[in-house]
Amino acid sequence: MIELNQLEQLIYIAENKTISKAAKELLISQPALSRSMQRLESDLGVELFDHYKNKIVLNKNGELAVKHAQKIIKSIQTMINDVQDYDQSFHRISIATCSPAPMWDIEPLIKELYPQITIQTAVINKKDLLTKLKEKEYHLVITPEYIDDSQYFCIPYVEEDLLLSLPLNHPLASKKEIKFHDLDASLFKYWFLA
Protein backbone atom coordinates (compact mmCIF):
# COMPACT_ATOMS: atom_id res chain seq x y z
CA MET A 1 0.00 0.00 0.00
CA ILE A 2 1.38 3.39 -1.00
CA GLU A 3 1.89 5.76 1.92
CA LEU A 4 1.56 9.53 1.79
CA ASN A 5 5.02 10.08 3.18
CA GLN A 6 6.42 8.11 0.22
CA LEU A 7 4.71 10.51 -2.17
CA GLU A 8 6.08 13.48 -0.25
CA GLN A 9 9.55 11.91 -0.35
CA LEU A 10 9.28 11.37 -4.11
CA ILE A 11 8.40 15.05 -4.56
CA TYR A 12 11.41 16.07 -2.45
CA ILE A 13 13.69 13.90 -4.58
CA ALA A 14 12.34 15.52 -7.75
CA GLU A 15 12.81 19.02 -6.29
CA ASN A 16 16.31 18.36 -4.94
CA LYS A 17 17.51 16.24 -7.90
CA THR A 18 19.36 13.79 -5.63
CA ILE A 19 18.41 11.37 -2.88
CA SER A 20 21.13 12.67 -0.57
CA LYS A 21 19.87 16.29 -0.75
CA ALA A 22 16.27 15.14 -0.36
CA ALA A 23 17.24 13.00 2.66
CA LYS A 24 18.86 16.04 4.31
CA GLU A 25 15.74 18.13 3.67
CA LEU A 26 13.53 15.37 5.06
CA LEU A 27 15.82 14.79 8.05
CA ILE A 28 16.15 11.07 7.36
CA SER A 29 19.10 8.93 6.32
CA GLN A 30 19.86 8.34 2.67
CA PRO A 31 19.54 4.53 3.03
CA ALA A 32 16.11 4.93 4.68
CA LEU A 33 14.93 7.16 1.82
CA SER A 34 16.31 4.70 -0.76
CA ARG A 35 14.45 1.81 0.91
CA SER A 36 11.25 3.87 0.96
CA MET A 37 11.56 4.54 -2.79
CA GLN A 38 12.21 0.84 -3.44
CA ARG A 39 8.96 0.01 -1.59
CA LEU A 40 7.12 2.65 -3.66
CA GLU A 41 8.49 1.12 -6.89
CA SER A 42 7.41 -2.31 -5.66
CA ASP A 43 3.90 -1.04 -4.81
CA LEU A 44 3.58 0.60 -8.24
CA GLY A 45 5.13 -2.37 -10.04
CA VAL A 46 7.44 -0.14 -12.11
CA GLU A 47 10.86 1.45 -11.78
CA LEU A 48 10.81 5.19 -11.10
CA PHE A 49 14.55 5.80 -11.38
CA ASP A 50 17.34 5.11 -13.82
CA HIS A 51 20.41 3.96 -11.93
CA TYR A 52 23.85 5.25 -12.89
CA LYS A 53 27.19 4.95 -11.16
CA ASN A 54 26.96 7.08 -7.97
CA LYS A 55 23.52 8.54 -8.79
CA ILE A 56 19.94 7.84 -9.72
CA VAL A 57 17.69 9.97 -11.92
CA LEU A 58 13.91 10.00 -12.25
CA ASN A 59 12.84 8.25 -15.44
CA LYS A 60 9.61 8.97 -17.36
CA ASN A 61 7.64 6.73 -14.97
CA GLY A 62 9.10 8.67 -12.06
CA GLU A 63 8.27 12.04 -13.63
CA LEU A 64 4.67 10.93 -14.14
CA ALA A 65 4.52 9.59 -10.59
CA VAL A 66 5.79 12.96 -9.28
CA LYS A 67 3.00 14.81 -11.14
CA HIS A 68 0.39 12.51 -9.63
CA ALA A 69 2.00 12.72 -6.19
CA GLN A 70 1.83 16.52 -6.32
CA LYS A 71 -1.86 16.38 -7.27
CA ILE A 72 -2.59 13.89 -4.49
CA ILE A 73 -0.76 15.94 -1.83
CA LYS A 74 -2.50 19.12 -3.02
CA SER A 75 -5.87 17.33 -3.01
CA ILE A 76 -5.27 16.05 0.52
CA GLN A 77 -4.34 19.55 1.72
CA THR A 78 -7.51 20.91 0.09
CA MET A 79 -9.53 18.19 1.81
CA ILE A 80 -7.98 19.04 5.19
CA ASN A 81 -8.68 22.75 4.70
CA ASP A 82 -12.25 22.14 3.53
CA VAL A 83 -13.07 19.80 6.42
CA GLN A 84 -11.54 22.18 8.97
CA ASP A 85 -13.39 25.16 7.45
CA TYR A 86 -16.63 23.18 7.49
CA ASP A 87 -16.11 22.23 11.12
CA GLN A 88 -15.26 25.83 12.00
CA SER A 89 -18.48 27.01 10.37
CA PHE A 90 -20.34 25.35 13.24
CA HIS A 91 -18.19 27.15 15.79
CA ARG A 92 -18.14 30.62 14.25
CA ILE A 93 -20.66 33.35 13.59
CA SER A 94 -19.91 36.32 11.40
CA ILE A 95 -21.76 39.58 11.92
CA ALA A 96 -21.60 42.78 9.90
CA THR A 97 -22.90 46.20 10.79
CA CYS A 98 -22.41 49.71 9.44
CA SER A 99 -21.73 51.07 12.93
CA PRO A 100 -19.74 49.51 15.78
CA ALA A 101 -22.19 50.49 18.55
CA PRO A 102 -24.67 47.59 18.12
CA MET A 103 -21.85 45.08 18.63
CA TRP A 104 -21.17 46.47 22.09
CA ASP A 105 -24.31 44.66 23.30
CA ILE A 106 -24.59 41.77 20.88
CA GLU A 107 -21.06 40.36 21.09
CA PRO A 108 -21.04 39.89 24.90
CA LEU A 109 -24.55 38.41 24.75
CA ILE A 110 -23.54 35.82 22.14
CA LYS A 111 -20.38 34.98 24.10
CA GLU A 112 -22.45 34.47 27.24
CA LEU A 113 -25.03 32.26 25.52
CA TYR A 114 -22.57 30.35 23.31
CA PRO A 115 -19.08 30.46 24.86
CA GLN A 116 -17.71 27.90 22.38
CA ILE A 117 -18.51 30.08 19.36
CA THR A 118 -15.97 32.41 17.80
CA ILE A 119 -17.46 35.73 16.77
CA GLN A 120 -16.18 37.55 13.72
CA THR A 121 -17.38 41.11 13.30
CA ALA A 122 -17.00 43.68 10.59
CA VAL A 123 -18.06 47.26 10.11
CA ILE A 124 -18.88 47.71 6.44
CA ASN A 125 -20.66 50.20 4.23
CA LYS A 126 -24.43 50.30 4.84
CA LYS A 127 -25.22 49.67 1.17
CA ASP A 128 -23.21 46.40 1.24
CA LEU A 129 -24.93 44.80 4.24
CA LEU A 130 -27.76 43.01 2.44
CA THR A 131 -25.56 42.03 -0.51
CA LYS A 132 -22.96 40.43 1.78
CA LEU A 133 -25.71 38.62 3.69
CA LYS A 134 -27.15 37.25 0.44
CA GLU A 135 -23.67 36.14 -0.63
CA LYS A 136 -23.41 34.30 2.72
CA GLU A 137 -20.30 36.24 3.68
CA TYR A 138 -22.03 37.03 6.99
CA HIS A 139 -24.50 35.02 9.05
CA LEU A 140 -26.35 38.12 10.16
CA VAL A 141 -26.22 41.85 9.64
CA ILE A 142 -27.37 44.82 11.67
CA THR A 143 -28.79 47.57 9.53
CA PRO A 144 -30.22 51.00 10.38
CA GLU A 145 -33.41 50.32 8.45
CA TYR A 146 -35.98 47.59 8.10
CA ILE A 147 -35.39 45.25 5.15
CA ASP A 148 -38.62 44.00 3.65
CA ASP A 149 -37.43 40.76 2.08
CA SER A 150 -39.24 37.46 2.62
CA GLN A 151 -35.93 35.55 2.44
CA TYR A 152 -34.83 37.02 5.76
CA PHE A 153 -36.11 37.35 9.26
CA CYS A 154 -35.86 40.99 10.33
CA ILE A 155 -36.68 42.27 13.81
CA PRO A 156 -36.12 45.58 15.59
CA TYR A 157 -33.05 45.32 17.76
CA VAL A 158 -32.76 48.63 19.58
CA GLU A 159 -33.95 52.19 19.45
CA GLU A 160 -31.73 54.92 20.78
CA ASP A 161 -32.50 58.10 22.69
CA LEU A 162 -30.28 60.70 21.16
CA LEU A 163 -29.71 64.32 22.02
CA LEU A 164 -29.56 66.76 19.18
CA SER A 165 -26.96 69.49 19.37
CA LEU A 166 -27.10 72.15 16.69
CA PRO A 167 -25.34 75.41 16.00
CA LEU A 168 -27.49 78.40 16.97
CA ASN A 169 -27.82 79.44 13.33
CA HIS A 170 -29.21 76.03 12.21
CA PRO A 171 -32.85 76.19 10.95
CA LEU A 172 -34.00 73.66 13.59
CA ALA A 173 -32.27 75.48 16.47
CA SER A 174 -35.02 78.08 16.79
CA LYS A 175 -37.78 75.46 17.24
CA LYS A 176 -39.03 74.70 20.72
CA GLU A 177 -39.82 71.15 19.69
CA ILE A 178 -38.30 69.01 16.97
CA LYS A 179 -40.32 66.13 15.58
CA PHE A 180 -38.73 62.89 14.55
CA HIS A 181 -39.86 63.40 10.96
CA ASP A 182 -37.76 66.60 10.88
CA LEU A 183 -34.69 64.37 11.06
CA ASP A 184 -33.35 61.52 8.96
CA ALA A 185 -34.98 58.62 10.82
CA SER A 186 -32.69 55.99 9.33
CA LEU A 187 -29.87 57.22 11.56
CA PHE A 188 -31.71 56.38 14.78
CA LYS A 189 -33.04 52.90 14.41
CA TYR A 190 -31.16 49.64 13.99
CA TRP A 191 -32.71 46.47 12.66
CA PHE A 192 -31.51 42.99 13.33
CA LEU A 193 -31.45 41.02 10.08
CA ALA A 194 -30.70 37.31 9.79
Answer whether 108's CB lies under 8 Å from 152's CB: no
What class does CATH assign to 4-88?
mainly alpha
Amino acid at 166: L
pLDDT tens track for 2-51: 999 999 999 999 999 999 999 999 999 999 999 999 999 999 999 999 98
Q: What is the pLDDT of residue 99?
A: 87
CATH assignment of 92-193, among 3.30.420, 3.30.1560, 3.40.190, 3.90.550: 3.40.190
pLDDT value at residue 80: 95
Domain boundaries, the chain: 4-88, 92-193
Q: Which residue has the higher pLDDT, 115 or 189?
A: 115
Q: What is the pLDDT of residue 184?
A: 55
* Long-range contacts formed by 14-19: CB under 8 A, 24+ apart: 14/58, 14/62, 14/63, 14/66, 18/55, 19/56
pLDDT of residue 121: 92
132-174 pLDDT tens trace:
999 999 999 998 888 888 888 888 887 776 677 777 887 777 8
